[in-house]
Protein backbone atom coordinates (compact mmCIF):
# COMPACT_ATOMS: atom_id res chain seq x y z
CA UNK A 1 0.00 0.00 0.00
CA UNK A 2 1.27 3.48 -0.87
CA UNK A 3 0.53 4.94 2.58
CA UNK A 4 2.87 2.48 4.31
CA UNK A 5 5.87 3.41 2.16
CA UNK A 6 7.81 6.49 3.34
CA UNK A 7 7.97 9.28 0.80
CA UNK A 8 11.22 10.87 -0.30
CA UNK A 9 10.24 14.07 1.49
CA UNK A 10 9.50 12.10 4.64
CA UNK A 11 12.87 10.36 4.48
CA UNK A 12 14.67 13.69 3.99
CA UNK A 13 12.75 15.23 6.88
CA UNK A 14 13.59 12.29 9.13
CA UNK A 15 17.27 12.73 8.29
CA UNK A 16 17.19 16.47 9.04
CA UNK A 17 15.13 16.40 12.26
CA UNK A 18 17.86 15.13 14.63
CA UNK A 19 20.32 17.73 13.33
CA UNK A 20 17.67 20.44 13.52
CA UNK A 21 16.76 19.45 17.08
CA UNK A 22 20.38 19.67 18.20
CA UNK A 23 20.77 23.11 16.60
CA UNK A 24 17.53 24.37 18.13
CA UNK A 25 18.38 23.16 21.62
CA UNK A 26 21.01 25.83 22.07
CA UNK A 27 20.71 29.10 23.93
CA UNK A 28 20.82 31.14 20.70
CA UNK A 29 17.67 29.57 19.30
CA UNK A 30 15.67 30.31 22.43
CA UNK A 31 16.94 33.87 22.52
CA UNK A 32 16.13 34.36 18.81
CA UNK A 33 12.56 33.15 19.36
CA UNK A 34 12.12 35.43 22.39
CA UNK A 35 13.67 38.33 20.46
CA UNK A 36 11.33 37.64 17.52
CA UNK A 37 8.30 37.78 19.80
CA UNK A 38 9.49 40.97 21.48
CA UNK A 39 10.49 42.61 18.20
CA UNK A 40 7.16 41.73 16.62
CA UNK A 41 5.24 43.41 19.41
CA UNK A 42 7.62 46.37 19.84
CA UNK A 43 8.00 47.19 16.14
CA UNK A 44 4.29 46.96 15.49
CA UNK A 45 3.57 49.11 18.52
CA UNK A 46 6.02 51.82 17.43
CA UNK A 47 5.79 51.75 13.63
CA UNK A 48 2.12 50.91 13.20
CA UNK A 49 0.03 51.73 16.26
CA UNK A 50 1.85 54.90 17.30
CA UNK A 51 3.48 56.18 14.10
CA UNK A 52 0.68 55.52 11.61
CA UNK A 53 -1.91 56.96 13.96
CA UNK A 54 0.19 60.09 14.62
CA UNK A 55 0.96 60.54 10.93
CA UNK A 56 -2.71 60.19 10.01
CA UNK A 57 -3.63 62.71 12.69
CA UNK A 58 -0.98 65.10 11.34
CA UNK A 59 -2.01 64.72 7.69
CA UNK A 60 -5.76 64.97 8.33
CA UNK A 61 -5.90 67.55 11.12
CA UNK A 62 -2.99 69.85 10.40
CA UNK A 63 -2.53 69.52 6.64
CA UNK A 64 -6.17 68.83 5.75
CA UNK A 65 -5.38 65.77 3.61
CA UNK A 66 -8.31 63.43 2.97
CA UNK A 67 -8.44 60.13 4.86
CA UNK A 68 -7.45 57.88 1.93
CA UNK A 69 -4.35 59.90 1.09
CA UNK A 70 -3.39 60.27 4.74
CA UNK A 71 -3.51 56.47 5.09
CA UNK A 72 -1.34 56.03 1.98
CA UNK A 73 1.22 58.64 3.07
CA UNK A 74 1.31 57.20 6.59
CA UNK A 75 1.86 53.66 5.28
CA UNK A 76 4.71 54.76 3.02
CA UNK A 77 6.48 56.89 5.65
CA UNK A 78 6.14 54.26 8.39
CA UNK A 79 7.40 51.54 6.02
CA UNK A 80 10.53 53.52 5.09
CA UNK A 81 11.24 54.33 8.75
CA UNK A 82 10.64 50.68 9.68
CA UNK A 83 13.22 49.63 7.10
CA UNK A 84 15.73 52.27 8.21
CA UNK A 85 15.28 51.14 11.81
CA UNK A 86 16.85 47.80 10.87
CA UNK A 87 20.02 49.54 9.63
CA UNK A 88 20.48 51.98 12.52
CA UNK A 89 20.02 51.78 16.28
CA UNK A 90 19.83 54.46 18.94
CA UNK A 91 22.11 53.59 21.87
CA UNK A 92 23.18 55.86 24.73
CA UNK A 93 21.81 58.97 22.99
CA UNK A 94 23.59 58.29 19.70
CA UNK A 95 22.73 56.67 16.41
CA UNK A 96 24.88 53.68 15.52
CA UNK A 97 24.90 51.36 12.53
CA UNK A 98 23.45 47.92 13.24
CA UNK A 99 24.36 46.55 9.82
CA UNK A 100 25.83 47.94 6.65
CA UNK A 101 23.28 49.59 4.41
CA UNK A 102 22.40 47.51 1.36
CA UNK A 103 19.67 48.38 -1.12
CA UNK A 104 18.12 44.90 -1.48
CA UNK A 105 17.42 44.39 2.27
CA UNK A 106 16.22 47.99 2.53
CA UNK A 107 13.70 47.47 -0.30
CA UNK A 108 12.61 44.10 1.12
CA UNK A 109 12.02 45.60 4.57
CA UNK A 110 10.21 48.60 3.10
CA UNK A 111 7.85 46.25 1.24
CA UNK A 112 7.44 44.18 4.42
CA UNK A 113 6.68 47.41 6.30
CA UNK A 114 4.01 48.32 3.75
CA UNK A 115 2.55 44.81 4.03
CA UNK A 116 2.42 45.00 7.83
CA UNK A 117 1.00 48.53 7.66
CA UNK A 118 -1.83 47.41 5.38
CA UNK A 119 -2.60 44.54 7.76
CA UNK A 120 -2.65 47.05 10.63
CA UNK A 121 -4.99 49.46 8.81
CA UNK A 122 -7.34 46.68 7.69
CA UNK A 123 -7.25 44.29 10.69
CA UNK A 124 -5.68 46.09 13.66
CA UNK A 125 -2.78 45.85 16.04
CA UNK A 126 -3.22 42.31 17.40
CA UNK A 127 -3.38 40.66 13.98
CA UNK A 128 -0.36 42.52 12.61
CA UNK A 129 1.69 41.85 15.77
CA UNK A 130 0.84 38.15 15.45
CA UNK A 131 1.79 38.13 11.76
CA UNK A 132 5.10 39.84 12.54
CA UNK A 133 5.87 37.38 15.35
CA UNK A 134 5.01 34.46 13.06
CA UNK A 135 7.33 35.85 10.36
CA UNK A 136 10.21 36.29 12.84
CA UNK A 137 9.85 32.73 14.15
CA UNK A 138 9.67 31.24 10.65
CA UNK A 139 12.71 33.30 9.60
CA UNK A 140 14.66 32.00 12.61
CA UNK A 141 13.81 28.38 11.81
CA UNK A 142 14.62 28.80 8.11
CA UNK A 143 17.97 30.41 8.97
CA UNK A 144 18.80 27.33 11.01
CA UNK A 145 17.68 24.87 8.34
CA UNK A 146 19.10 26.64 5.29
CA UNK A 147 22.15 28.43 6.62
CA UNK A 148 22.96 26.36 9.71
CA UNK A 149 23.63 29.47 11.75
CA UNK A 150 24.09 27.61 15.05
pLDDT (tens digit, 9 = 90+) per residue, 86-139? 888 777 778 778 788 899 999 999 999 999 999 999 999 999 999 999 999 999
Number of domains in the chain: 1
Is 10 within the bounds of a domain? no
Is 1 within the bounds of a domain? no
Instruction: Assign 144 a pLDDT band (cuts: 50, 70, 90).
Output: confident
Strands 94-97, 88-91: parallel, antiparallel or unpaired by DSSP?
A: antiparallel
92-120 in b/e form (b: 16+ CB < 10 A) is eeeeeeeeeeeeeeeeebbebbbbbbebb
Instruction: Assign 11 a pLDDT band (cuts: 50, 70, 90).
Output: low
Is 6 within the bounds of a domain? no
Note the pLDDT of residue 1.
45
Note the pLDDT of residue 95.
77
Is 137 within the bounds of a domain? yes
Domain holding 76, by residue range, is: 30-147
Helical spans, DSSP H, in 1-150: 8-24, 27-44, 51-57, 67-85, 103-123, 125-147
Is 12 within the bounds of a domain? no
Amino acid sequence: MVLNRPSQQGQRLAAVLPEMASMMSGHNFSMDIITGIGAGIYEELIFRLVLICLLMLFFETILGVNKTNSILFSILISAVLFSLHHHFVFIHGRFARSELFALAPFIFRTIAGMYFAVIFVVRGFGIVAGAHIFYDIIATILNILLFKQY
